[in-house]
């Protein structure tokens, strides 16, 4: 298995599907996983250190596990079958180790909240990974597809989308704190406009 980190959340430009972008520690191997818009928001908020006014689903899950004395030790994207990714969450509780099946999006959102490693099976990377090379002046990015034929075109969009959404959310939080509700409403509408294409999927 290969340890990966979450780099960004983005929108695939062809069919407007949200996805999460993972890279290994050396940042030369990447993986895109299609996710839902709700999970994309959950992951994006954590990446941008945004705190919701009330606990959201994965915050609640963390609180429940903490209350039960269960510790998440890792999450593992362990399988890709018929274009669907599968994952496991490994828990330690009362001296026992329990592995729970999960969607990768939920596992990743939880991993970010409890700060545990995210791993991907080598077999999954063989099927759907992307090798990334930076060459030439300005570090121009080149993508070399390893497996899945449909994910490569989206890679260059991930960092751009994640950065733009992040900046807007920071501005939105600041506007609300300053009680500048007119500006906050405009920023909120801009964020919704960016995320809207994914809502029909």
Could you tell me the CATH number of the domain that includes residue 101? Answer: 3.10.690.10
Q: What is the residue-averaged pLDDT of the chain?
A: 77
Residue in the block written with tokens 């969450």: 89
Contact 35, 19 (CB under 8 A): yes
Number of structural domains in the chain: 1
Query: Does residue 99 carry a pLDDT above 90?
Result: yes
- Which position has the higher pLDDT, 148 or 108? 108
Spatial CA neighbour of 76 closest among 55, 57, 53, 97: 97
CA distance 154 to 68: 40
User: How far is it, in rounded angstroms, from Cα 113 to Cα 51?
Assistant: 11
Residues 6 or more apart in contact with residue 31 via CB below 8 angstroms = 4, 21, 22, 23, 77, 120, 124, 125, 128, 129, 130
* Structural domain harbouring 28: 2-198
pTM to 2 decimal places: 0.65
> Tens of pLDDT along 19-76?
888 988 887 788 888 888 888 888 888 887 777 777 778 878 888 888 888 899 999 9
């Amino acid at each position: 298995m290969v340890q990966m980190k979450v780099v960004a959340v983005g929108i695939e430009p062809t069919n407007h599907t949200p996805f999460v972008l993972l890279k290994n520690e050396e940042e030369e191997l990447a993986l895109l996983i299609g996710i839902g818009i709700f999970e994309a928001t959950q992951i994006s908020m954590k990446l941008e250190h945004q705190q919701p006014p009330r606990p959201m689903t994965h915050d609640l899950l963390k609180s429940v596990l903490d209350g039960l004395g269960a510790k998440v030790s890792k999450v593992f994207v362990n399988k890709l079958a018929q274009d669907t990714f599968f994952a496991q969450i490994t828990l330690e509780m009362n001296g026992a180790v329990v592995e729970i099946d999960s969607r990768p999006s939920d596992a990743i959102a939880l991993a970010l909240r409890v700060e545990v490693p995210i791993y991907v099976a080598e077999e999954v990377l063989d099927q759907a990974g992307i090798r990334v090379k930076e060459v030439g002046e300005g570090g121009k990015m080149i993508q070399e597809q390893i497996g899945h034929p449909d994910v490569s075109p989206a890679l260059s969009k991930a960092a751009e989308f994640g950065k733009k959404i992040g900046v807007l959310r920071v501005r939105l939080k600041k506007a609300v704190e300053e009680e500048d509700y007119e500006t906050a409403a405009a920023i909120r509408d801009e964020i919704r406009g960016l995320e809207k294409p994914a809502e029909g999927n």
